Amino acid sequence: MKVLVTGGAGFIGRWVVKQLLHDEKQVWAVDNFSNGQPSNLAEFNGNSQLNVYEGDAADSPMMNRLFLENKFDLCLHLAANINVQDSIDNPKKTFLDDLAATFTILEAARPTRTKVVFVSSCMVYDVSPDAGVDEASPLLSRSPYAASKAAAEQLVQSFSHAYDLPTVVLRPFNTYGPFQKTTAEGGVVAIFIKAALKNQPLQIYGDGAQTRDLLYVEDCARFIIAAGYSERANGQLFTAGSGRDICINDLAQLISRDKSKIVHVPHIHPQAEIQKMLCNPKKAAAILGWRPRVLLEEGIQKTTEWIINETTH
Ligand SMILES: NC(=O)c1ccc[n+]([C@@H]2O[C@H](COP(=O)([O-])OP(=O)(O)OC[C@H]3O[C@@H](n4cnc5c(N)ncnc54)[C@H](O)[C@@H]3O)[C@@H](O)[C@H]2O)c1
């Protein structure tokens, strides 16, 4: 099986690549290294099953050539500009990276009939009810990032209907784990762990009552790959999270070593905040047989070990 992973040198992408290589697939990773880096794939150097290409997913001549030359069985499309604040400051960049690039991928996949799994985001949802959101829950785009993902989802589904192209749309929840950036572009878990290790303040935006359903990155990668392998998934949409949400205040308590270091600061983009985010992943369990395996406490431990290792080497 030949699999193309766009955004393959990114945080989640490198775990997807790792799992695919473990499954003995032939893998192509395309990345423009705008946020990912070659070092994320260093573990697989010398693996003849992996081909790494520097390139832009929105570059149609390059993508068309890559698809025609290699006739991929599957494309896992993760490349995106993921920064919500960037999308508010520079919506055109997000439009090009997240929506236009998805169109390029779909057009490239059409002649070779390559199955496309589009990795969207939980950010497309409106605030979650107590039972959590599922695939039928209402959407509300609070940022150009969310809007580009929601629009790209529609585009992907239109290719399934209009051209009978096998596609799947996925909405993973906030993902954390080793290889996530610990700088401002990273996720809250990585940022808090790094701050705690350096005995620096853990800065909570707003009152900290907002909740997140945090998904460990290897669980997220398994979700993406399960959708890719499953024929029953074709034409469908799935959401995945841990099924448990935690407010940011409690997350800071869990991670901090010195509670006096927890501080509240004004939110940088309060207009894009979603107050409660909780997933009900029952459809992924029923159809893909997917269930999260790593508990938050265990995932924080694994992430902490990785960050300690990174900063001491
Ligand atoms: N991290 C999360 O919490 C989360 C949650 C839900 C969905 N997602 C989605 O998962 C995917 C991967 O996210 P991530 O957290 O690994 O982010 P990431 O930034 O680490 O990975 C994205 C990768 O895509 C690359 N890229 C960006 N634009 C590109 C382009 N035009 N052409 C080629 N490569 C390009 C970046 O360099 C990066 O390596 C994204 O689509 C994101 O929207 C992430």
Is the CB of residue 177 below 6 angstroms from any atom belonging to ligand 1?
no
Q: Which of 6, 63, 82 to mutate to test the pocket of ligand 1 (most atoms within 8 A of CB)?
A: 82
Is the CB of residue 153 below 6 angstroms from any atom belonging to ligand 1?
no
- Rounded CA separation 66/109 (Å): 10
In the chain, where are the structural domains located?
2-176+215-243+279-293, 188-210+245-277+300-312
What digits encode the pLDDT tens for the residues 44-60? Answer: 999 999 999 999 999 99
Is the CB of residue 163 below 6 angstroms from any atom belonging to ligand 1?
no
The predicted model gives 58-87 an average pLDDT of: 97
Please give the pLDDT value at position 268. 85
Please give the pLDDT value at position 49. 98
CATH number for the domain formed by residue range(s) 188-210+245-277+300-312 = 3.90.25.10
Is the CB of residue 281 below 6 angstroms from any atom belonging to ligand 1?
no
Please give the pLDDT value at position 220. 98
- Do the domains 2-176+215-243+279-293 and 188-210+245-277+300-312 sit in the same CATH topology, yes or no? no
The rounded percent of the chain whose pLDDT value lies above 90 is 94
Please give the pLDDT value at position 159. 98
Indicate if the pLDDT at residue 184 is higher than 80: no
Indicate if the pLDDT at residue 37 is higher than 80: yes
CA of 7 to the centre of ligand 1 (A): 6
Is the CB of residue 165 below 6 angstroms from any atom belonging to ligand 1?
no
Indicate if the pLDDT at residue 257 is higher than 90: no
Indicate if the pLDDT at residue 272 is higher than 90: no
Paired with 54 in beta bridges are 31
3-state SS string for the chain: CEEEEECCCCHHHHHHHHHHHHCCCEEEEEECCCCCCHHHHHHHCCCCCEEEEECCCCCHHHHHHHHHHHCCCEEEECCCCCCHHHHHHCHHHHHHHHHHHHHHHHHHHHHHCCEEEEECCHHHECCCCCCCECCCCCECCCCHHHHHHHHHHHHHHHHHHHHCCCEEEEEECCEECCCCCCCCCCCHHHHHHHHHHCCCCEEEECCCCCEECCEEHHHHHHHHHHHHHCHHHCCEEEEECCCCCEEHHHHHHHHCCCHHHEEEECCCCHHHCCCCCCECCHHHHHHHCCCCCCCHHHHHHHHHHHHHHHHHC
Please give the pLDDT value at position 273. 86
Is the CB of residue 15 below 6 angstroms from any atom belonging to ligand 1?
no
Is the CB of residue 97 below 6 angstroms from any atom belonging to ligand 1?
yes
The rounded percent of the chain whose pLDDT value lies above 70 is 100
Indicate if the pLDDT at residue 312 is higher than 90: no
- Nearest-atom index, ligand 1, CA of 119: 41
Pick the CATH number of 2-176+215-243+279-293 from 3.40.50.170, 3.40.50.720, 3.30.365.10, 3.65.10.10: 3.40.50.720
What digits encode the pLDDT tens for the residues 97-133? Answer: 999 999 999 999 999 999 999 999 999 999 999 999 9
Higher pLDDT, 184 or 87: 87
